[in-house]
Structure 1
């Protein structure tokens, strides 16, 4: 199937939803399996600050003349994860939206889009506002960010992801143990397993590894409970 036929199928599949999206105040858009934008409602175009009259269809994220384009590689990674796992993916965008001069936090939820034959043909992203959030890390964010809530890889266990998260925040093993309610010796054992999996030899190497692979933007779900935070997902 060529790209034109593929995008036509996408529009047929989502036709009913478009009636709702056109009335919605929240941003909705649709991408094909190559991460090209096939549809975006008016709220989406206004939300990200697109110039009036700019044709968004067929564009990639990095081609958009808006601040959001700097995270194009991360968005492409999120898209691939949804296409691969056929499950919803949730991230947190810290950006200047609606041409405002201050940062706001919005969730980006991406859903798999299945075609007429049951195969996955694209992704449906949706921005929704963060109603309430109390996480110390987020309170200090001063620059636009993209944070993930779905594990970007299955190489690590849930506990290992928690240790990785706190290590990227420069916590000591003792501090990590207190945060996730295990002994610091257990933390050190977990770190040794992580080093072996990643091929690094110390925490600095692990942090560099996480930055290189985008893992430093992942926040494990269990972190919210240990921080007494409220995350309306």
Structure 2
């Protein structure tokens, strides 16, 4: 553990953003490629509700004495996705955050950072409270969860992801067609192409695929914007 911490701290000191993070009022943090915490500013320590004096460096999400440790598998999968994209990835995390342990959603944006050889060394992230005015079906009953705004797989087109999003909610083809302003036949054709891509023949197979790959926790950004008016 000490060797890991020494190596991580050495790498962190080379990142010019550290001075910015130290003074920031919003949570900022850094993880290595195994999702071990390397750095958290004070705002992030408070946001994560990490007990004062607890040594978080070199630890995984699941190893922290915090209410949201059970979300670790989803959070780590999101770390891997962020590492694969220069544009990073976004996720909405809902749990008991802050020193008052209030159940609320936060938007977390993650980006890869690189070593001197240009190799990915881990992720840098920040979080902002997700405040909403009107509530979509996804937020009617808040509970600890992770909702990703970045597709966990690269198999589908944007239009196919829209259909999968509604199909997972068990909307019929006609209902999906109305939602997307498409013809019923167009939706049916796209569904068949989706089935062919993943080797299934029915909605049941698609639902199982979504659970396996994490698509069950995915919301297209444009659909979220349509259902929720939000501000920072």
Using the size of structure 1 for normalisation, the TM-score is 0.89
- What is the CA deviation profile of residues 145-195 of structure 1, one whole-angstrom value per residue up to 9, with x for unaligned ones? 111111111101111101110011121111111111111221111111111
Equivalent in the alignment of 2:189: 189
List gaps (5 residues or longer) in structure 1: none
How far apart, in 2, do the equivalents of 1:153 and 1:138 lie?
21
* TM alignment of 1:84-233, pairs within 5 A: 84-100=84-100, 102-132=102-132, 134-224=134-224, 227=226, 229-230=228-229
1:83–1:120 Cα contact (<8 Å) kept: yes
How far apart, in 2, do the equivalents of 1:42 and 1:3 lie?
21
Deviation at 1:215, TM superposition (A): 0.6
How far apart, in 1, do the equivalents of 2:7 and 2:101 lie?
39
Deviation at 1:103, TM superposition (A): 2.2
Equivalent in the alignment of 2:75: 75
1:30–1:37 Cα contact (<8 Å) kept: yes
1:109–1:125 Cα contact (<8 Å) kept: yes
3-state SS, counterpart of residue 13 of structure 2: helix
How far apart, in 1, do the equivalents of 2:133 and 2:121 lie?
33
How far apart, in 2, do the equivalents of 1:33 and 1:101 lie?
28
3-state SS, counterpart of residue 57 of structure 1: coil
3-state SS, counterpart of residue 105 of structure 1: strand
3-state SS, counterpart of residue 22 of structure 1: helix
- Quickly say closer, same or farther: Cα 1:197–1:142, change in 2 above 3 A: same
3-state SS, counterpart of residue 68 of structure 2: helix
3-state SS, counterpart of residue 152 of structure 1: coil
Root-mean-square deviation over aligned CA pairs? 2.2
How far apart, in 1, do the equivalents of 2:101 and 2:118 lie?
43
2:27–2:126 Cα contact (<8 Å) kept: yes
1:162–1:222 Cα contact (<8 Å) kept: no
2:136–2:227 Cα contact (<8 Å) kept: no
1:29–1:124 Cα contact (<8 Å) kept: yes
Equivalent in the alignment of 1:11: 12
How far apart, in 2, do the equivalents of 1:71 and 1:11 lie?
25
Equivalent in the alignment of 1:38: 38
How far apart, in 2, do the equivalents of 1:188 and 1:135 lie?
30
Deviation at 1:3, TM superposition (A): 4.7
How many residue pairs get matched? 230
How far apart, in 1, do the equivalents of 2:29 and 2:135 lie?
28
